[in-house]
Amino acid sequence: MKNIAIFASGSGSNAEKIMEYFQNSQQVKVALVVSNNQNAFVLERAKKYRVPTMLLPKNWKSDAENISKNLKEKGIDLIVLAGFMQLIPSELISAFPNKIINIHPALLPKYGGKGMYGMHVHRAVKSAGDSESGISIHFVNEKYDEGEIILQKKCSISDEDTPESIQQKVQKLEHEYFVKAIEKVLG
Ligand code: GAR
- Stretch (H or E) spanning 3: strand 2-7
Alpha-carbon distance of 102 to 129, in angstroms, equals 26
By most ligand atoms within 8 Å of CB, the mutation choice from 171, 172, 173, 178 for ligand 1 is 171
First to last CA, the chain: 12
Report CA Rg, the chain.
16
Whether 163 contacts 122, CB under 8 Å: yes
Asked whether residue 143 carries a pLDDT value surpassing 90, the answer given is no
Q: What would the mean pLDDT of 4-17 be, rounded to a whole number?
A: 98
By most ligand atoms within 8 Å of CB, the mutation choice from 13, 84, 144, 152 for ligand 1 is 13
pLDDT of residue 109: 96
- pLDDT tens-digit map of 147-164: 999 999 999 999 999 999
Asked whether residue 88 carries a pLDDT value surpassing 90, the answer given is yes
Q: Is the CB of 35 under 6 A from ligand 1?
A: no
DSSP string, 113-144: STT--HHHHHHHHHHHT-SEEEEEEEE--SST
pLDDT of residue 174: 98
Cα-to-chain-centroid distance, residue 80: 5
Q: What would the mean pLDDT of 1-23 be, rounded to a whole number?
A: 98
